[in-house]
Structure 1
Amino acid sequence: MSTPESCIVAGQLAELGHTSLYDLLEQACREYADKPAFSCGADSVSFTALRSHADCFARYLRHEAGLQPGDRLAIQLPNLLQYVVAIFGALKAGLVIVNTNPQYTAPETRHQFADSGARAVVVLDKLVPLVRSIQPQTQIERLIVTSLDDWRQPQEQGDAADETRFMAALAIGRTLPEIETGRGLDDLAVLQYTGGTTGVSKGAMLTHRNLLSNVLQAVSIIKPGEVEYGNEVRVSPLPLYHIFAFTANCLASVFTGFNSVLITNPRDLDGMIADMQRHSITLFTGINSLFVSLMAHPQFDSIDFSRLKWVNSGGAPLNLSVAQRWFERTGSVVREGFGMTETSPVVVASTGNTPYKEGFIGQAVIDTEMKIVDDQGQELPAGEPGELLIRGPQVMQGYWQRPEATAETFTEDGWLKTGDIGVIDEDGFLKLVDRKKDMILVSGFNVYPNDVEDAVMRHRGIRECVAVGVPDERKGEAIKLFVSLHDQNLTEADIIAHCREQLTGYKVPSYIEIRDDLPKSTVGKLLRRVLRDEARAQVQP
């Protein structure tokens, strides 16, 4: 989808001379060389070492695995050093990355692999049985398998003819000829899957230009002198398969020469706090639910926050009381941002370089236009609520192989319809009021009610169900499920157990309410809004 010509970002891209995202790493090697790029546990990799590993992996992908520029490579890993090697290796090979949540169930994984047409997957060893169970329904030809301890204890023997160990792939790649990337700024770089009100996950098509533009937009919000390129340590607990962390904690961190400390399992608070104690942290990227969990840990106050300069919150709304408590405990202000998978993702940010207005998220990043429109698409004056529309160089090209969905999402003149109800004040500050879509935001992850409801209705004992979001201090929003039953012996625990078999953990409802009947319109349509309003009235934010 075309976007208006950008002034600042286009000029910066021309000056850099980058033709692909891989050039970020090449530039970092020139400027930061042997400084640490990523750390994970007690291990780290420098920028030059990362480039060496990525080049080996790229050669393996092209020469040995037979993948060609434009082919899709799924990456289904938690935050590991192997993940960043795979990302930059795929980019060097000219492949299209398909970021995949390692917590996905078999149906969720199958849909994403099949829809993207991925030919290979980099996957954690314990997930191989899941991939094997759905492989016949996909185009996956090769599994590149790694384990949590591969970096320290490499394993090089695969278990099947179409299976290669990750560290073996690097070793093979070292013996193979150099390759050319073969991709340009307007070629597809990433298929980042998001949801829809129908519950069908769609691949947002993000080009090298989209993501490079967003990197430049993201770093533009840094106040001069606020950080020192090449000398900051950034704790990165958010998963790299999520678009916010992918852009901010991976791509932008390479551009700025930050050392990103990858947290493999943010639920392991003991381990995460140990990592934060190990490093002299200066930057931190988190989410509302993580701030709450960390502050509740008995060892939280033992962390040295004296050098902490900057804390970002993204992926979910930030609770003001949580931000205040964080400031009181650490002395650092949490700055919020807003974005979407479809916008690479950063749209709005609040930093030390911009004024702060309580209750507002912030102002648009450079070269980004926002407007508020009514139901007829007419622009509304400042202060009036309506649907938020966005236009800029970071906006996706459309949805993969879904022209109708793409057409529905864009206006004729190229504005992205967000489905969010917002207000823009006279100074250009954005406040989100509500969502036009029924999407529920749980700990930064989009959960679509129909997705949950479809899984719930696979239980023959359930007659009808409606999933809604309710305020939750830790998660931002939690899922409440209203059900009516065929089988009156079913309990709330039975329904939760069924959901855990069918859904990723963050999609499992936190609350179940069993009713004799659910409210319907005169034509028999379940009244989701009525139930949502009832549920929200009963739960304190």
Structure 2
Amino acid sequence: MNNIKSPWLEHYPSKVPFEIKPHHYESLVDLFEESVRKYSSLPAFVSMGTSISYNELNLLTRKFATYLQQELGLQPGARIAIQLPNILQYPIAMIGALRAGLIVVNINPLYTSREMQHQLADSGAVAIVVLANFASKLENILRSTSVRHIIITELGDQLGAFKKTMVNAVAKHIKKMVPKYHLPRAVAFNDAINRGSQLLFHPPIIEGTDIAFLQYTGGTTGISKAAVLSHSNIFANIEQFSIWIKGSLKEGEETVVTALPLYHIMALMGNCFTMMKLGAKNVLIPNPRDTKGFIKEIKKYKVSIFSGVNTLYNNLLNHSSISRVDFSDLKFCAAGGMAMQISVAEKWKKLTGVAITEGYGLTETSPILTFNPLGGKERLGTVGMPLPGTQIMIADRTGQALNIGEAGEIYAKGPQVMKRYFNQSLETAHAFSSSGWFKTGDIGRLDEDGFLTILDRKKEMIIVSGFKVYPSEIENIIAGNHKVLEVGAIGVPDERTSEAVKIFVVRKDTSLTKDELWEFCGKHLTLYKIPKHIEFIDELPKSTVGKVLRRALKEEELLEV
């Protein structure tokens, strides 16, 4: 353990082991097939009112895997891209691809053609499953990729004959969501499944060390790189997370709302695979930005598990219909991806009676490294303590361990940590210390009980007259003003102090003035942390999971200088 102190072990939740046992599965496919055996008739996924059971999912994924293997001739290790929102076709395509021994490359459906081209070309994907809504973007860049096989699906394709016709017609002809495209060699998703049903599947041998996903980082602090995540990496994190939460949940009885996109590592591991291991019913939300429709959907179910990011919770809390949702069955709410603002967490607990349990992780760590204890033992403002088998160290600039309570870069080790980036040997070398620690690029500190607090991204820290200012602290304080809906903080050049704090504020109450905000900041922030510049805007730039993109704010600021 490199003589690194592990203060969290003395305060671990009861019945949670310090390490995970060697698992008896070789792959995520083994995990899925066991879930099918245990929960065969139970609902696995629900989308737009249509449900499929674990056994139906087993049959559909097997047919799709057979099509990929037998008709397309894709060999184990070939890369297949999936560009879908949260609809039933996603788990069918993703699990089917894994069953065929393929490597899944998740692509954000909202990406531009340029962003798609980068990931397709970089990964060497030879096949893609894409929603018809985005097929025109694929057509634009197809020749500059290795893609030879295109499978296209429409929103309603797995909703049954009548609903399929209705949903697809509305999307195409009324909402005009499907731009024209010309991909004559493309195959319809349902046709691929039908063809697979007529062929014989030969299950490949899949080992834990085999690559399951090339999972691209968000690219919020630089070029988007693919983390190489093996079956063992993902499964280790499933084990770690399920051990941590299972005392509060019952197998085969839970209903989880999945609003975060399944192509994102947080939802993929936590909402998809971990909930599958527990036999939960997964309610898929295709468009969580439609807050009214989102609330209308969750009112139909007895939701017991909810996950999201700060922005998602905040949007729900600020919609008038949220008070009419019955949260009496709610047991567990999780958050990650960005700092949870204390004011938002407190409002959510007041509304639902259930605290938001915050965790921390990265794409490169499958993703969860730390999580707060459940059962009312969470510490608001922290991201909890390391999961079983995970080591966390706070390091100085030279990579040496700092003392408890000191702030520095967060280093991590554990079975969930990737071994490398795909085709990026230099980036891989930069990402690991000489002793094998993964360098997260985040700044944090451990307290004496082993709880981790995230202060900010290393690259986003603001230096004012030599003093370190963390944007998340500024945002957390200002979000507590009842007239503020959202806020983002960045550093801007300043002749006198080197950098100064600038905030971008989306007002909840249009009567809010800059003078009011400066007065508010003066009561809660020390002088050098008080924003020198305030700009009111209509909307903050965000990633697809709702993370405020400070880099985009900074780029926009530089353009205006």
- Measured against the shorter chain, the TM-score band is 0.7 to 0.9
Match of 2:234 among 199, 211, 220: 211
> Is structure 2 residue 75 aligned with structure 1 residue 65?
no
Partner SS state of residue 19, structure 1: coil
* Alignment-mate amino acid for residue 36 of structure 1: P
Partner SS state of residue 415, structure 2: coil
Partner residue of 2:521? none
Contact 2:460–2:490 (CA under 8 A) maintained in structure 1: no
Contact 2:20–2:389 (CA under 8 A) maintained in structure 1: no
* Alignment-mate amino acid for residue 179 of structure 1: H
Partner residue of 2:124? 117
Partner residue of 1:11? 21
Partner residue of 1:202? 225
Partner residue of 1:27? 34
Partner SS state of residue 216, structure 1: helix
Contact 2:358–2:382 (CA under 8 A) maintained in structure 1: no
CA distance in 1, matches of 2:557, 2:454: 32
Cα 1:307–1:63 shift into 2, 3 Å? same
Contact 2:260–2:545 (CA under 8 A) maintained in structure 1: no
Contact 2:69–2:201 (CA under 8 A) maintained in structure 1: no
Cα 1:198–1:34 shift into 2, 3 Å? closer
Match of 2:393 among 371, 375, 380: 371
CA distance in 1, matches of 2:439, 2:559: 38
* Alignment-mate amino acid for residue 268 of structure 2: F
Partner residue of 1:79? 86
* Alignment-mate amino acid for residue 422 of structure 1: G
* Alignment-mate amino acid for residue 201 of structure 1: S
Match of 1:126 among 129, 133, 136: 133
Partner residue of 2:402? 380
After TM superposition, the score normalised by the length of structure 2 is 0.77
Deviation at 1:10, TM superposition (A): 5.6
CA distance in 2, matches of 1:480, 1:427: 31
CA distance in 1, matches of 2:42, 2:196: 24
Partner residue of 1:277? 299
Contact 1:121–1:143 (CA under 8 A) maintained in structure 2: yes
CA distance in 1, matches of 2:485, 2:232: 33
Match of 2:419 among 367, 392, 397: 397
* Alignment-mate amino acid for residue 148 of structure 1: L
Cα 1:359–1:517 shift into 2, 3 Å? closer
* Alignment-mate amino acid for residue 80 of structure 2: L
Alignment of 1:57-206 (within 5 A): 57-151=64-158, 152-153=160-161, 160-195=183-218, 199-206=222-229
Offset from partner CA, 1:467-502 (integer Å, 9 cap, x none)? x9983859976487989xxxxxxxxxxxx9xx99xx
Offset from partner CA, 1:90-120 (integer Å, 9 cap, x none)? 1100000101100001111100000000001
CA distance in 1, matches of 2:490, 2:427: 28
Contact 1:74–1:99 (CA under 8 A) maintained in structure 2: yes
Deviation at 1:292, TM superposition (A): 1.1
Deviation at 1:183, TM superposition (A): 1.9
Partner residue of 1:341? 363
Partner residue of 2:465? none
> Is structure 2 residue 369 aligned with structure 1 residue 359?
no
Q: C-alpha root-mean-square deviation of aligned residues, in Å?
A: 3.0
CA distance in 2, matches of 1:419, 1:256: 33
Deviation at 1:20, TM superposition (A): 1.0
Contact 1:76–1:122 (CA under 8 A) maintained in structure 2: yes
Cα 1:433–1:165 shift into 2, 3 Å? same
> Is structure 2 residue 439 aligned with structure 1 residue 407?
no
Partner residue of 1:420? 442
CA distance in 1, matches of 2:89, 2:238: 22
Partner SS state of residue 235, structure 1: strand
Deviation at 1:415, TM superposition (A): 0.7
Partner SS state of residue 49, structure 1: helix
CA distance in 2, matches of 1:232, 1:362: 24
Deviation at 1:188, TM superposition (A): 0.5
CA distance in 2, matches of 1:511, 1:197: 12
* Alignment-mate amino acid for residue 11 of structure 1: K
Count of aligned residue pairs for this structure pair: 465
Match of 1:36 among 32, 43, 51: 43
Contact 2:70–2:201 (CA under 8 A) maintained in structure 1: no
CA distance in 1, matches of 2:394, 2:491: 32
Higher alpha-carbon deviation: 212-221 or 469-478 = 469-478
* Alignment-mate amino acid for residue 211 of structure 2: L
* Alignment-mate amino acid for residue 55 of structure 1: R
Contact 1:206–1:344 (CA under 8 A) maintained in structure 2: yes
Partner residue of 1:242? 264
Partner SS state of residue 220, structure 1: helix
CA distance in 1, matches of 2:326, 2:146: 49
Contact 1:289–1:475 (CA under 8 A) maintained in structure 2: no
* Alignment-mate amino acid for residue 409 of structure 1: A
Offset from partner CA, 1:55-114 (integer Å, 9 cap, x none)? 000000111122110011100000000000011101100000101100001111100000
CA distance in 2, matches of 1:512, 1:409: 25
Match of 2:336 among 288, 298, 314: 314
Offset from partner CA, 1:112-132 (integer Å, 9 cap, x none)? 000000001100001111001
Offset from partner CA, 1:344-400 (integer Å, 9 cap, x none)? 000010131583333322100000000111111111111111111000000001100
Contact 2:355–2:376 (CA under 8 A) maintained in structure 1: no
CA distance in 2, matches of 1:143, 1:253: 30
CA distance in 2, matches of 1:77, 1:259: 20
Contact 1:291–1:326 (CA under 8 A) maintained in structure 2: yes
Cα 1:169–1:332 shift into 2, 3 Å? same
Deviation at 1:182, TM superposition (A): 2.7
Q: 4+ residue stretches of structure 1 with deviation over 3 A?
A: 7-10, 153-156, 158-161, 195-198, 468-483, 503-518
Partner SS state of residue 143, structure 1: strand
> Is structure 2 residue 234 aligned with structure 1 residue 227?
no
